Amino acid sequence: MTQYRLKNEKDSSEEQNNSKIWGGRFSSSSNKLMEEFNSSIQFDKKLYKQDIEASIVHAEMLCKQKIISEKDFKLIKTGLNKIKTEISNNNFTFSIKLEDIHMNIENRLVDLIGDAGKKLHTGRSRNDQVATDIKLWLRDSIDQIEINLKLLQKTLMDKSELYYDMLMPGYTHLQVAQPVTFGHHLLAYVEMLGRDRGRLTDCRKRLNELPLGSAALAGTSYPIDRDFVSKKLGFDKPTKNSMDGVSDRDFAVEFMSAASLIAIHLSRLAEELVIWSSDRFNFIKLPESFTTGSSIMPQKRNPDAAELIRAKPGRIFGNMLSLMTVLKGLPMTYGKDMQEDKEPIFDTARTIQMCIVNMDGMIKGLQPIPNNMIEALQKGFPTATDLADYLVINLDIPFRDAHHLTGRIVLLAEEKDCTLESLSLKDIQKIIPEADNKILDVLKIQNSVSSRNSYGGTAPKNVLKAAREAKKRFLKD
């Protein structure tokens, strides 16, 4: 099994036990298997920047409150900044015996500055410390995810403006339903991602309360200033209840829920990219940089990036279920069970970031093939609904009867192996004797699209206006 050691770490049982910050209560060392099982340093070392940032502010507050001396604070700050540099430059050796990032940093601090380092943990516990670190880390991650979602929205809006009048089939049940524009289709995902950004904003707002100062669970008798720490670390306020402060992981579940919806939306778009780029549809050409070849079939260009994005929701859903299962039966306040929160959080944030960035690259580089879109439209009788509506409005035929008559005309076009636009007036008059030349205009695809000018509709003028308005709504910052 992998061993993690600090430089010059000793091996005797007594020295192993004494190296633990909590070791005074114990007379024998931990079982080596237990050490590995209990340790989280393998993954929570990712929190080192947040842990050091919060520790410096905590020490500054202790100094301000006269709990530690200014000299000790300066030593602590200098030591922590040195540790941050060591870790950033991969010059820090993590020890599994010290369990987690907090104890690894504190142990190294004592090595560097002596007894002053032992004063850093005054007025806090690892319980409120880790809750603070995770919130700081997740807050930064949410900010970056939100930025990347915004960039993806911009890419979609740019494409929507460019292709605001490009005709393509709109589908229900994956069958041609009515004509839409390619720009209108892409704008649907802009709205989805807008809601996703709103959920992340809400999640960030709720998580932005400072747990530090809750100590183990009951607060502390030291005269600390939680408002000072909260303001310095960019939190809106301290948590109101010390027990809730250390035990709350709602924010993590809420983040995973928001990430799950993002993953669903990206997966839906990914599926459409897979379909559209297939040789049966051939509506778009994906950029080569986001496709791969086959090991035995040289003609293949596989949409692997899109397929992976389509698959990733399962991973993210699993992370959320994993954390909810850990939390669902825990009594107040902290239990070691909660160590299981970090890996799902880290993995979810990384996975959703990769999905967003890869989707942005695919959308930027895709090229539509408009002739194939039009050909698919013509095969699907997409103006049938327009014909039924025309019969209702202009010939005063009840909709159910108009629906039936239109179905007979579609059947006629199928028998003649032609599009609705190709039918002659005589063909139509066999079924609707009172029809005149005006009915032929209704069957034209371009006229159908242009007529969908209701608010939120697919008329090209609407789409262009909607794309520009979306940029004002979503890109204003």
* Alpha-carbon span 175 to 263, nearest angstrom: 25
Per-residue pLDDT band at 309 (split at 50, 70, 90): very high
Q: Which two tokens stand for residue 419?
A: 């599009």
* Alpha-carbon span 313 to 351, nearest angstrom: 9
Architecture of domain 379-474: Orthogonal Bundle (1.10)
Question: What CATH number has the domain spanning 13-122?
Answer: 1.10.275.10
Q: Where are the domains of the chain?
A: 13-122, 128-374, 379-474
CATH T-level topology, domain 128-374 = Fumarase C; Chain A, domain 2 (1.20.200)
Q: 3-state DSSP call for residue 285?
A: strand
The answer, yes or no, to whether residue 1 has pLDDT greater than 80, is: no
The answer, yes or no, to whether the previous bond of 333 is cis (omega within 30 of 0) is yes
What is the arithmetic mean of pLDDT over 63-90? Answer: 98
| DSSP structure string for 349-362 | HHHHHHHHHHHHHH
337: which DSSP letter? G
Residues with catalytic roles:
173, 294
Determine contact, residues 187/469, Cβ cutoff 8 Å: no
* Alpha-carbon span 439 to 444, nearest angstrom: 10
Residue indicated by tokens 């008559």: 405
Q: 3-state DSSP call for residue 319?
A: helix
pLDDT recorded at residue 232: 98
The answer, yes or no, to whether residue 299 has pLDDT greater than 80, is: no
What is the arithmetic mean of pLDDT over 278-304? Answer: 85
The answer, yes or no, to whether residue 12 has pLDDT greater than 50, is: no
Model pLDDT for residues 200-239, shown as the tens digit of each residue: 999 999 999 999 999 999 999 999 999 999 999 999 999 9
Q: Tell me, yes or no, if the two domains 13-122 and 379-474 fold the same way.
A: no
| DSSP structure string for 14-43 | HHHHHTSTTGGG-SSPPPHHHHHHH--HHH
Q: 3-state DSSP call for residue 296?
A: coil
* Alpha-carbon span 104 to 445, nearest angstrom: 68
Residues 6+ apart with CB under 8 A from 188: none
Q: Return the number of other C-beta atoms located less than 10 Å from residue 50's C-beta.
A: 22
Q: Which two tokens stand for residue 230?
A: 């909260």
pTM above 0.85, yes or no: yes
Residues 6+ apart with CB under 8 A from 55: 76, 80, 105, 120
Per-residue pLDDT band at 145 (split at 50, 70, 90): very high
Model pLDDT for residues 182-191, shown as the tens digit of each residue: 999 999 999 9
pLDDT recorded at residue 476: 84
* Alpha-carbon span 163 to 181, nearest angstrom: 7
End-to-end CA distance of the chain: 50
* Alpha-carbon span 100 to 44, nearest angstrom: 7
Q: How confident is the prediction for the chain on average, in pLDDT?
A: 92
- Angle (CA) 215-220-225 rounded to 5° is 90
* Alpha-carbon span 55 to 130, nearest angstrom: 11
- The dihedral of CA 392, 397, 399, 401: what is its sign? negative
pLDDT recorded at residue 477: 67
Q: 3-state DSSP call for residue 407?
A: helix
* Alpha-carbon span 35 to 297, nearest angstrom: 50
Per-residue pLDDT band at 6 (split at 50, 70, 90): very low
